[in-house]
Amino acid sequence: MKQLLLWGLTGLLLNLNTPNADAARKIRFTKLSAKSKIIDIKKLGVKPASTTSYTQSWNIWAWNDQGYVIYGLVVLTKIFMGMRMAVQLTIRTPDGKVKHTMAEYSKGKYSWDKNRLRVWVPNKHVFQFNKTKGLFIARFGKWGCRLRLKRVLPGFRFARGVIKFGSRKFDGVNFAPRMEVKGRLMIGGKKLRFKGVGYADYGWQNIMPQNISKRWLAARSLSKDYTIIGAHLLPSAKWRPRSVPILAIAKNGTYIFQGDHRQIKFSARRRKLDKESGYMVPQYSIFRGEKKGLKVKLEVINLELYDKFDVLSQFNAVLRMLVKRLISNPFLFRYRAKFILTMTRGSKRTRITRFGFTEFAMLNK
């Protein structure tokens, strides 16, 4: 049974077991103490939930000047049958070819270290990270990667803390907003050296994505001098507030702006119909905000769709139809994008243009 089938069944189970307390509709944002604001990498390791179903994941993005783009995902889920692990690797080559590979492992086939962020399948996959350095290995026959990761920018929490949806919660941590990435790729049996930049984050939740949101945007630009990290959660219809954005901007390794829903307004425009999925995908997004006298406006313009992924593509036809109608119709749309950042402090105005990537996770209409 494929990993994505597992995720769909997990979503169904959590849908059926969502407690009535979730009808409260109001999203709550926890306040962090000074101590809890510090990102402790050890606490981002495997955290099994003893009494409820849950999902936790580690995401890795990397790209280089030659045009290679890598996306890695390690997921642990627990449903009534127990815990399972899944690993996904996507490689896009400079000529536009995209290769998706994935595998799922039952308990006993994978391991983790209780005292650090380290999870692995012997001789196949590894994801580990300490304070500033990490390793990601994913082997799928003639396709794979072995990447050394070095964090060069401090991490932060999405929305500055845990987000509570009724009795359930989501904790998102951008633990490596900018990394130096070096290593090797295996593409069709051919080994290539890789040197570029990257990003990594972490999530733990006991509520499935389709119960949280209709749409999720991740926007990332890592140029030589600027790091721009934007994200937006559009909650499902029963939740308020209806917009949960974040924006972090760093220049030469130092943050110059960090804001969330308390300081940032978000809008999405120029929606384009994707006929296969039926979704209207925004092509132009705007973040606006002000904090400590600095006004910012970030315009993100999608230029090229370089990867579209139907998350349910491996389901059989009957189960695929049922999941799409009863639970969710998840699609990923990844774009190369232009980032136009305008910053104003008093009479001084700075405007820069950089390039990066966006990902829209479309879950429900």
**Predicted local confidence at residue 21, as pLDDT:** 45
Do 214 and 202 contact (CB within 8 A), yes or no? no
Do 311 and 332 contact (CB within 8 A), yes or no? yes
Question: Which residues 6+ apart lie within 8 Å of 318 measured at CB?
Answer: none
Would you identify the CATH topology of the domain 1-207? AttH-like fold (2.40.370)
Same-fold call for 1-207 versus 210-365: yes
Give rounded-to-5 percent helix, strand, coil for the chain.
Answer: 10, 60, 30
**Predicted local confidence at residue 49, as pLDDT:** 78
Specify the DSSP element, H or E, that contains 320: helix 317-326
Amino acid at 302: N
Question: Which residues 6+ apart lie within 8 Å of 316 measured at CB?
Answer: none
Among the listed residues 239, 236, 132, 145, the one whose alpha carbon sits nearest the alpha carbon of residue 195: 145
Question: How far, in Å, CA of 28 to CA of 91, rounded?
Answer: 37
Q: Angle of helix 3-16 relative to helix 317-326, nearest 10 degrees?
A: 40
Residue with tokens 């987000």: 163
**Predicted local confidence at residue 26, as pLDDT:** 87
Among positive and negative, which fits the CA dihedral 157, 55, 330, 162?
negative
- Return per-residue pLDDT of the chain as tens, 365 residues: 344 344 444 444 344 344 444 455 888 888 776 666 678 899 999 988 777 788 899 999 999 999 999 999 999 988 766 788 999 999 999 999 999 999 999 888 999 998 899 999 999 999 999 999 999 999 999 999 999 999 999 999 998 888 998 888 899 999 999 999 999 999 999 999 999 999 999 999 888 777 778 889 999 999 999 999 999 999 887 788 889 999 999 999 999 999 999 999 999 999 999 998 889 999 999 999 999 999 999 999 999 998 988 876 666 566 656 666 656 778 899 999 999 999 999 999 999 999 999 999 988 87
- Could you give phi then psi for residue 324, rounded to 5 degrees? -65, -35
Q: Which DSSP letter does residue 6 get?
A: H
State the DSSP string of 154-205.
--EEGGGS-EEETTEEEEEEEEEEEEEEEEEEEETTEEEEEEEEEEEEEEEE
**Predicted local confidence at residue 317, as pLDDT:** 64
Question: How far, in Å, CA of 198 to CA of 362, rounded?
Answer: 23
Q: Where are the domains of the chain?
A: 1-207, 210-365
- The verdict on domain 210-365 having CATH code 1.10.10.10 is no
**Predicted local confidence at residue 14, as pLDDT:** 42
**Predicted local confidence at residue 13, as pLDDT:** 39
Among the listed residues 234, 241, 204, 200, the one whose alpha carbon sits nearest the alpha carbon of residue 217: 234
